[in-house]
Amino acid sequence: MHISVLLDECIKYLNLHEDSIIVDCTLGLGGHSSEILKRIPLGYLYSFDQDSIAIEKSMIRLNNIANNYTIINSNFVNIKKELGKRNIKEVNGILYDLGVSSPQLDEAERGFSFHNDAKLDMRMNQSQELSAYEVVNDYSFDKLVKILREYGEEKYATSIARGIIKNRPVESTLELVDIIKNNVPEKYRRDKHPARKTFQAIRIEVNDELNVFKSSLIQSLELINKGGRVCVITFHSLEDRICKEVFNNYSKIDANLKNLPIIPDELKPKYKIVKVLEPTIEEVNNNPRARSAKLRVIERIG
């Protein structure tokens, strides 16, 4: 069963009012969206997802609560464009939950999980062409090493990439897991699942996750009105670094202005960082997927 991570904290820090206009950039199975919808009877919810299965399941859940919502079947990188089509120029709050949703992990045929056997896939948008199969079987040695290092922070990137090239074609997830296991030291196999970082790297590459997130986050900061907030739940250091950098850039005073005795209002930062927090031990015990989560909250003040 899918349990939404940091649910109560998100609801609290989104600072919802009954007439709030809110965007959930990562609908998934509707855990966050359904709780938001309950609290905005006079407002409106726009939820993004590019996964047709998630949309289908979420609609049933949301319809049982209210109908003041729209699901937008699109990547959240299109947030400004899609809201613009609906004449929405500003909103009161935006939420990102960047975890891979449980259905994608739990449905073996999606090829996201290193525990189940399936054709290599990992596409969040099932209509796009690039899948994990092409990355694993068509990328050059150098390109494989680069994505394993940059997106997986994998210290055995070179030997894993060499193993992949040697064993092509690689058809399934568990074939890839065996290749990874055979190309890392035994101690590494004992510490944590040795395929975790490689699978993360390939998934990020397939879905261009980091570039998409950064672009969308910057658009979101421009979309929230004064007093509006953006809440972001990240699950690994790469996403969190991007979020932290973007939030810091938007909330700090320009270094060249720091020595001025008085800083004019128009040059002061338009945003302030509200909170950075992690799940409680209790939540991690109840939901192991929350283990590496972190919530960052920023508010528009100008």
DSSP assignment string, 166-214? HTPSP-BHHHHHHHHHTTS-HHHHHHS-TTHHHHHHHHHHHHTHHHHHH
> Residue 278's pLDDT is what?
96
Residue appearing with tokens 């729209």: 70
Which residue ranges of the chain lie beneath pLDDT 50?
none
> Residue 253's pLDDT is what?
84
> Residue 134's pLDDT is what?
98
Nearest partner of 89 among 207, 193, 227, 224, judged by Cα? 224
Query: Residue 193: what residue type?
Result: H
First to last CA, the chain: 41
Domains and CATH numbers, the chain: 7-97+209-300 (3.40.50.150), 107-207 (1.10.150.170)
- Distance between CA atoms of 288 and 283, rounded to whole angstroms? 8
pLDDT in tens, 84-126: 999 999 999 999 999 876 555 556 667 677 878 899 999 988 8
pTM above 0.85, yes or no: yes
Q: What is the mean pLDDT of the chain?
A: 93
φ/ψ bin of 83: left (φ > 0), alpha (ψ from -120 to 50), beta (otherwise)? alpha
Radius of gyration for the chain, computed over Cα atoms and rounded to the nearest angstrom = 21
| 104, 110 Cβ separation under 8 angstroms | yes
Q: Say if residue 169 is preceded by a cis peptide, omega within 30 of 0.
A: yes
pLDDT in tens, 33-66: 999 999 999 999 999 998 888 899 999 999 999 9
Strand pairing category for 294-300 and 271-277: antiparallel
